[in-house]
Amino acid sequence: MAYRSTDRVKARLSASRQRIVTAALEIMAQHGYAGCSVAAVAERAGIATGSVYSHFPTKADLFAEVFRIASQREVDAVSRAAGLEGTMAARITAVIETFAGRALQSPRLAYALLAEPVDPAVDAERLVFRRAYAHIIAGYVADGIARGELPAQDPDLTATALVGAFAEAMVGPLAAGVAGPDTIPNLIAFAHRALGVSP
C-alpha cells in the first residue's frame, strides 16, 4: 500500500470539481446551455475534456447540479427579499422585483434556467426549480389567507399559476434584452389582483 489519497489531494479534487461547475455556470451566463459542450466547459475550467468524467458520471449529471445551484441562488435571493416584508402585498412586490431584476441582470442565464431547450434530464431539474419558487409563494399565500389579507383560494394553484405568469412575462423581455419600464409594475399589479390583496 504505497498510496492513499491525502487531504491535500482531496482539496485539489474538490477545487477542480468546483471549477468545473463555475465554468459551466459562466458559459451558461454567456452563451446559454447551447454553448455548454463538455469540451468548452473543460477548457474554461483549465482541465482536459476527459477529466470532467472523473467528477461527474455524465454531462446530464453535471448540468443537473449546475441548474440546482443556480436555481437555489435565485430562490434564496427571492426568499430573502420577500422575508423582509410584512404584508402580502409587499412580499409579492419583493418577489417580483427580485426575480425580474435578477433575470434582467443576467438575461442569458435567466433564459437558460427558465425556457431554453435542454436535455430532458436537465429539464427535470428545471421543474424542481419552478416548484421551489411555487413552494415559497404558496407559503406566503397560505399565510396571507390565515391572516385575512387574502380571500380563500388554493395556495398551491395560485402559486404555480403566478410562477408561470412571472416566467412567461419575462421570456419576451429576456429575448429582447430589455423590458419596457412598465413591465415590472404591471406584473406587480397583476399579481396583486390575482392574489386578491385588498387595495
Partner DNA sequence: ACAAGAATTGAACCACTATTCAATCCTTCG
Partner DNA sequence: CGAAGGATTGAATAGTGGTTCAATTCTTGT
Q: How far apart are CA 180 and CA 52, in angstroms?
A: 41
Grid cell digits, residue 151: 380571500
The yes or no reply on residue 6 touching DNA (CB under 7 A) is yes
Binding mask 17-56 for DNA (x = CB under 7 A): -------------------xxxx-------xxxxx-xx--
Tell the burial category of 146 from Cβ atoms under 10 Å away from its Cβ (0-12, 13-18, 19+): exposed
Report 80-119 residues binding a copy of itself (CB under 8 A): 117-119
Which of DNA, a copy of itself, none lies near 133, with the C-beta cut-off 5 to 8 A by kind? Answer: none
CB neighbours of residue 131 within 10 Å: 15
Is residue 139 a contact point for a copy of itself (CB under 8 A)? no
What is the contact mask toward a copy of itself in residues 151 to 190, using x (rule: CB under 8 A)?
A: x-xx--xx-xxxxxxxxxx-xx---------xx--xx-xx
Residue 6: name its binding partner from a copy of itself, DNA, none (Cβ under 5 to 8 Å by kind): DNA
Complex with a copy of itself: residue 77 or 161, whichever CB lies closer: 161
* CA 83 distance to own-chain centroid: 18
- Binders of DNA: how many residues, by CB under 7 A? 25
71 binds, among a copy of itself, DNA, none (CB under 5 to 8 A by kind): none
When asked if residue 38 is in the footprint of a copy of itself (CB under 8 A), the reply is: no
Nearer to DNA, 34 or 146 (CB): 34
d(CA 36, CA 30): 10
Provide Rg for the chain, Cα atoms: 20
2 binds a copy of itself (CB under 8 A): no
- CB neighbours of residue 36 within 10 Å: 25
Residue 144, CB half-sphere, CA atoms under 13 Å: how many? 28
Among 34, 48, 69, 90, binds a copy of itself (CB under 8 A): 34
Helices 183-195 and 155-176: angle between axes, nearest 10 degrees? 170
Query: What is the distance between the alpha carbons of residues 81 and 91, in angstroms, rounded to a whole number?
Result: 8
Give the binding site for DNA (CB under 7 A): 1-6, 8-9, 12-13, 16, 36-39, 47-51, 53-54, 58-60
